[in-house]
């Protein structure tokens, strides 16, 4: 649908009501406000409205989080990640011009903005911040005043929000799943052997993750941390390296010959020159743990589309000597493993392409965060999708319905006005959505087609009938 004005980010702010409780000091509540150029009066007014809305809802329910406010022109999502800290995402509702009785008038397309998607986007924004900075309250604790927190928020979100692209968010943002690379037993064991050998030879390494292109092969992190880490890797860090590899989209990948452009292994985070003295800038990450966060250095090494992420205790100081030894250990091994995977990978891509049918699908497993999808034509979140956008919205609707009713198993089938069928299946913690365009099919035929797709794509996974 053509829009006069598309969905866009209007405001994004973080506040804590316990600051600036005196009249005239309301500005102190505000910890971050986007756009930063917004005048202070508007900032105070909007934060005040959010506070009032939340307080009003508390009249009727104790302990239920207030999640969103819908107005004709905006959608506001609320998230309280830590006690007293609220994050607010304000979106402008897209508009379209409709002609009614010969007169053009502006219509706000409120139903195109789906709460579950943008609430997930907001939550993910917090998780990303937390991964690199720790929790809000931890940043406060050390200094008791929010100056440092304000600085960190500003530093992080200024860059983060530019890449947000809220107009292209869809059901995949709800899942934030991880794409796993299926390998045959032998190759998978080779990967695991390398990881084990690495962790034995370098006991400072606490966890390891292994990726090939944008797909995960092995991870020693908790799924929740890996999910946030994975998203950072594939949306921020690796795209620069992978740009050329990804141009063909997620299914038909580039051949090994093409990837040889990046021949030669190197540190993505760490020293750029192993002969120099500068070990480079090494980011720290805050991993979840029962007794507070564990802080680790994140060292990333890459060869032939294979990426190894090493999580090393913060207490360890990283010297050039360490990187040199690491390079000697990994360089050759990773290059040969990378080409071994590439060979198999190209093989499986060829066979997958031949099995391609007209049906598009999304699969997500909450347990290991595994995700598989054919609804996008590329991985760049550019709105390049293989099903109509209104049909894509139905997937998120069906998901919202599952999450609200919380059945352990369930099935939803819908037929749209333009003869698209959408099938959603929930089986324990696995969700599976299929889109089929078929005008004259009936329920039974659609059911058969979904069964066939399950058999070809997910042979060993059980779905309730």
Contacting residues toward another protein, per CB under 8 A: 49, 52-53, 56-57, 59-62, 64-74, 109-112, 115, 390, 393-394, 397, 401, 404-405, 407-417, 419, 440-445, 447
Cα 404 vs. chain centroid, distance in angstroms? 22
Closest-CA residue to 384 (of 259, 251, 254): 251
Angle CA(414)–CA(420)–CA(424) in degrees, nearest 5?
40
CA distance linking residue 280 with residue 359, whole number of Å: 47
CA distance linking residue 429 with residue 431, whole number of Å: 7
Taking the alpha carbons at both ends of the chain, their separation in whole angstroms is: 36
CA distance linking residue 461 with residue 395, whole number of Å: 21
Cα 317 vs. chain centroid, distance in angstroms? 31
CB of 173 or CB of 411, closer to another protein: 411
**Looking at the chain, how many residues does it have?**
465
The Cα-based distances of 125 to 89, 131, 246 in angstroms read: 10, 10, 24
Burial class of residue 341, CB neighbours in 10 A (0-12, 13-18, 19+): buried
DSSP 101: T
CB of 403 or CB of 461, closer to another protein: 403
User: Radius of gyration of the chain from Cα atoms?
Assistant: 24
């Amino acid at each position: 649908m053509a829009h006069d004005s598309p969905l866009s980010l209007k405001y994004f702010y973080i506040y804590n009501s316990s600051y600036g409780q005196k009249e005239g000091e309301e500005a102190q509540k505000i910890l971050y406000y986007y756009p930063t150029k917004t005048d202070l009066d508007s900032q105070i007014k909007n934060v005040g409205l959010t506070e009032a809305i939340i307080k009003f809802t508390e009249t009727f329910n104790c302990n239920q989080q207030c999640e969103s406010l819908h107005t004709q022109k905006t959608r506001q999502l609320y998230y309280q990640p830590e006690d007293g800290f609220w994050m607010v995402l304000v979106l402008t509702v897209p508009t379209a011009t409709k002609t009614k009785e010969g007169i053009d008038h502006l219509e706000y397309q409120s139903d195109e903005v789906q709460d579950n998607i943008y609430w997930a986007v907001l939550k993910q924004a917090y998780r990303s911040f937390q991964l690199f900075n720790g929790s809000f309250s931890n940043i406060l604790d050390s200094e008791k005043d929010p100056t440092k927190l304000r600085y960190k928020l500003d530093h992080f979100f200024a860059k983060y929000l530019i890449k947000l692209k809220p107009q292209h968010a869809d059901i995949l943002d709800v899942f934030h799943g991880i794409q796993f690379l299926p390998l045959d037993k032998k190759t998978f064991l080779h990967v695991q052997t390398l990881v084990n050998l690495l962790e034995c030879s370098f006991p400072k390494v606490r966890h390891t993750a292994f990726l090939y292109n944008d797909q995960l092969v092995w991870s020693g992190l908790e799924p929740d941390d890996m999910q946030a880490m994975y998203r950072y890797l594939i949306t921020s860090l690796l795209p620069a390296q992978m740009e050329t590899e990804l141009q063909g989209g997620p299914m038909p990948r580039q051949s090994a010959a093409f990837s040889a452009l990046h021949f030669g292994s190197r540190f993505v985070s760490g020293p750029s020159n192993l002969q120099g003295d500068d070990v480079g800038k090494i980011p720290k990450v805050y991993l979840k743990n029962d007794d507070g966060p564990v802080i680790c250095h994140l060292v990333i090494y890459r060869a032939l589309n294979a990426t190894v992420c090493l999580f090393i205790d913060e207490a360890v100081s990283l010297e050039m000597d360490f990187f040199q030894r690491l390079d000697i250990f990994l360089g050759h091994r990773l290059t040969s493993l990378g080409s071994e995977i590439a060979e198999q990978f190209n093989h499986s891509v060829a066979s997958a392409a031949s099995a391609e049918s007209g049906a598009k699908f999304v699969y997500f497993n909450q347990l290991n965060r595994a995700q598989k999808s054919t609804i996008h034509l590329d991985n760049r979140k550019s709105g390049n999708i293989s099903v109509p956008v209104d049909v894509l919205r139905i997937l998120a609707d069906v998901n919202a319905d599952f999450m609200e009713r919380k059945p352990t198993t369930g099935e939803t089938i819908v037929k749209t006005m333009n003869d698209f069928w959408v099938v959603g299946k929930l089986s324990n913690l696995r969700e599976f959505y299929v889109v089929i365009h078929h005008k004259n099919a009936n329920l039974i035929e659609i059911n058969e087609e979904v069964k066939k797709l399950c058999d070809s794509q997910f042979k060993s996974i059980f779905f309730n009938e």
